[in-house]
Amino acid sequence: MDRPGAENIAGQACSFTNEDENETFYLRGLKLAQIREKGINPYGERFERTSLAEEIKENYEIIQGQRVAVAGRLMAKRGHGKATFADLQDLSGRIQIYLRSNEIGEEAYALFGKVDLGDILGVEGSVFKTRLGEVTIAVQRFVILSKCLRTLPEKWHGLKDIELRYRQRYLDLIVNPDVKKTFIIRSKIIQAVRRFLENRGFLEVETPMMHPIPGGAAARPFITHHNTLDIDLYLRIAPELYLKRLLVGGFEKVYEINRNFRNEGISTKHNPEFTMLELYQAYADYVDMMNLTEELLHNVAVEVLGSAKIDCEGQEIDLSPSWKIIPMSEAVKEYTGLDFNEINSDGEAVRAAEEIGLEAEKPGTWGTVLNQVFEERVEPKLIQPTFIIDYPVDISPLAKRKENEPRLTSRFELFIMGREIANAFSELNDPIDQRMRFEEQAKKRLAGDDLSHMMDEDYLRALEYGMPPAGGLGIGIDRLVMILTGLSSIRDIILFPILKPKEQGSHENKDL
RNA sequence: GAGCCAUUAGCUCAGCUGGUAGAGCACCUGACUUUUAAUCAGGGUGUCCGGGGUUCGAGUCCCCGAUGGCUCACCA
């Protein structure tokens, strides 16, 4: 590149990749240098604000004529010779600013000519309304707080390219106001959950994210390595077993909101790292958890959205209590006609599934087949909030058995919009039963099922000291946010969803 | 992992049966002191995702690859 000064923008030695060699970047670099030549630092210091854009607009009657100071990003500029209108955007929204040469002086007005769309400015001036009624700040003084060297996405269409929106989320946030709103709602949902639990006496705790033995869920883990100890560790797939150790230790109501990591497929409903709420309450059971779940979600919806009725992908979801409760076998009977209560062997169960056109999974026990039929034929149809209870013991290695029905556990999952939102059970606190379940799981593992639970002696030892009976609940925060915001892709409610890195290198070495 | 679709200027997009690459916004030059998708007069700033191939000639056709989206599989 043989443009003068391009490799030495603003007097600073720096290198740019080919990608950056567009005209705009070069020209803005020159403006940056010109601003510096005037003795002005285009990357300014702290700026004392008096107001946010929306506050000024909302309180115009009171604030009219007063001097205000606002800061934000320049989003539009309309020059009229010796006067210029522009729009400044801060967290709250946008406000118009107005600069006149004879008001701020010719030198300052000329400097404003070096200001580009995307620059971050601080302005001071008095509030007035234009002829057309727009609340505007008549600028008396402005400072450049940060120079923008690149072109912002288009003002009218915004940033639509989905890949760019995820890879450069900051642009998405600058240019698409709804995106900002979504993530504010996400934050409010989590705050509301914490407040709700705090009010009920739950203690927030943090348990390890790196586990010597991954447990508490059926999922493939990520493996990492600790150098000094020279051991492999697993990023946690669930915090469950650690939280229950805390019940043994005497904490009676605990919860954790944090990331889980599962090394599995990526889709609009699955991100490899996702946020989970898990809570445990001593001396309670899964029915208590059902009530808690219902109250929690209803409460959060009303608090954050102002209503228990939410619009989700064109469907109205009503989170007002009380939600339907259906045993899994009854739900299956209702939607397929198969009555698993009348089925008494694994072989029979497999044949029954095949009769309705399902290919039963390999080993295929009564419980796994029941669950499979449920997932394939019932789950997608559960649109309004529905508790499915009485899960088979085969797929619930950490849940307490029902006393009068040993094939089943005291467990429920909550479904909304055909998606699993919550999972809860009466926690298995019998160390002998837990040991047998782990052994059962270990057998499956040996047979090649790498999703089965690993034997965890340390956890068993904790149970052997005695864990109070307890109810435990897990809620997928991302999926909850999806329901409450009505968005159908998990990537739209995670700020930086996982994406494959773009290929590098092709342009990196070209300059050398 | 499989199928389908997409990838063209900073952004949003057009580009037919193969014939020297276009628009709007943004940007650059000039005019303009209440505009608001400001306006007016000029100016295209490009590795058409990458690599091969067919052809006199490829953004366009064929093959391979990259990334993304959707569907499916996986994920109880």
Q: For the residues A383-395, what does the mean pLDDT come to?
A: 95
Q: What is the pLDDT of residue A364?
A: 84
**A308 beta carbon to strand B: under 7 Å:** no
pLDDT digits (tens, 9 = 90+) for A61-104: 999 999 999 999 999 999 999 999 999 999 999 999 999 999 99
The tokens 């013991």 sit on which residue? A393
Q: Which nucleotides of B are covered by protein (CB under 7 A)?
A: 1, 9-13, 24-28, 31-39, 45-47, 50, 66-76
pLDDT digits (tens, 9 = 90+) for A171-194: 999 999 999 999 999 999 999 999
Report the C-alpha gap between A138 and A171 in whole angstroms. 28
The tokens 């209803």 sit on which residue? A298
Report the C-alpha gap between A417 and A135 in whole angstroms. 43
Q: What is the pLDDT of residue A20?
A: 47
Q: What is the pLDDT of residue A296?
A: 98
- What three-state secondary structure class fits A185? helix
The tokens 């309450």 sit on which residue? A281
- pLDDT band for A477, please (50, 70, 90 cuts): very high
Report the C-alpha gap between A364 and A394 in whole angstroms. 10
Task: State, as a whole number of angstroms, the distance between the CA of A19 and the C1' of B57.
Answer: 30
Task: State, as a whole number of angstroms, the distance between the CA of A22 and the C1' of B64.
Answer: 31
Task: State, as a whole number of angstroms, the distance between the CA of A166 and the C1' of B6.
Answer: 17
Q: What is the 3-state secondary structure (H, E, C) of A49-111?
A: CCCCHHHHHHCHHHHCCCEEEEEEEEEEEEECCCEEEEEEEECCEEEEEEEEHHHHCHHHHHH
pLDDT digits (tens, 9 = 90+) for A217-231: 999 999 999 999 999
Report the C-alpha gap between A150 and A163 in whole angstroms. 18
- pLDDT band for A21, please (50, 70, 90 cuts): low
**A3 beta carbon to strand B: under 7 Å:** no
pLDDT exceeds 70 at position A8: no
- What three-state secondary structure class fits A378? helix
pLDDT: which is higher, A363 or A181? A181
Q: For the residues A435-455, what does the mean pLDDT come to?
A: 90
pLDDT exceeds 50 at position A2: no
pLDDT exceeds 50 at position A204: yes
pLDDT exceeds 70 at position A17: no
**A6 beta carbon to strand B: under 7 Å:** no
Q: Where would I find the beta strands (DSSP E) of A164-296?
A: 203-204, 210-211, 223-226, 231-235, 253-261, 273-282
Hits for CB < 7 Å against strand B across A residues 23-82: 23-24, 27, 76-82
**A16 beta carbon to strand B: under 7 Å:** no
Best CA proximity match to A28, nearest among A153, A149, A146: A149
Q: For the residues A290-310, what does the mean pLDDT come to?
A: 97
pLDDT exceeds 90 at position A312: no
Task: State, as a whole number of angstroms, the distance between the CA of A167 and the C1' of B13.
Answer: 21
Q: For the residues A416-429, what does the mean pLDDT come to?
A: 95
Beta bridge partners of A94: A89
Residue A127, token pair as written in the block: 């509030």
**A379 beta carbon to strand B: under 7 Å:** no
Report the C-alpha gap between A59 and A51 in whole angstroms. 10
pLDDT: which is higher, A437 or A11? A437
pLDDT exceeds 90 at position A313: no
Q: For the residues A94-119, what does the mean pLDDT come to?
A: 95
- Checking each nucleotide's C1' against the CA of A502, the nearest proves to be B67
Q: What is the pLDDT of residue A161?
A: 93
Percent of chain A scored above 70 by pLDDT?
Answer: 94
Q: For the residues A114-127, what does the mean pLDDT come to?
A: 96
**Average pLDDT over chain A, rounded to whole?**
91
- Checking each nucleotide's C1' against the CA of A76, the nearest proves to be B36
Closest residue to B10 (CA, C1′):
A151
pLDDT exceeds 70 at position A307: yes
Q: What is the pLDDT of residue A503?
A: 63
- Checking each nucleotide's C1' against the CA of A103, the nearest proves to be B33
pLDDT exceeds 70 at position A469: yes
- Give percent helix, percent strand, percent coil of chain A, each to the nearest 5: 35, 25, 35
- pLDDT band for A342, please (50, 70, 90 cuts): very high
- Checking each nucleotide's C1' against the CA of A391, the nearest proves to be B76
**A116 beta carbon to strand B: under 7 Å:** yes
Q: What is the pLDDT of residue A512?
A: 22
Hits for CB < 7 Å against strand B across A residues 386-445: 395-396, 423
The model's pTM is 0.92
Task: State, as a whole number of angstroms, the distance between the CA of A152 and the C1' of B63.
Answer: 38
Q: What is the pLDDT of residue A424?
A: 97
Hits for CB < 7 Å against strand B across A residues 329-358: none
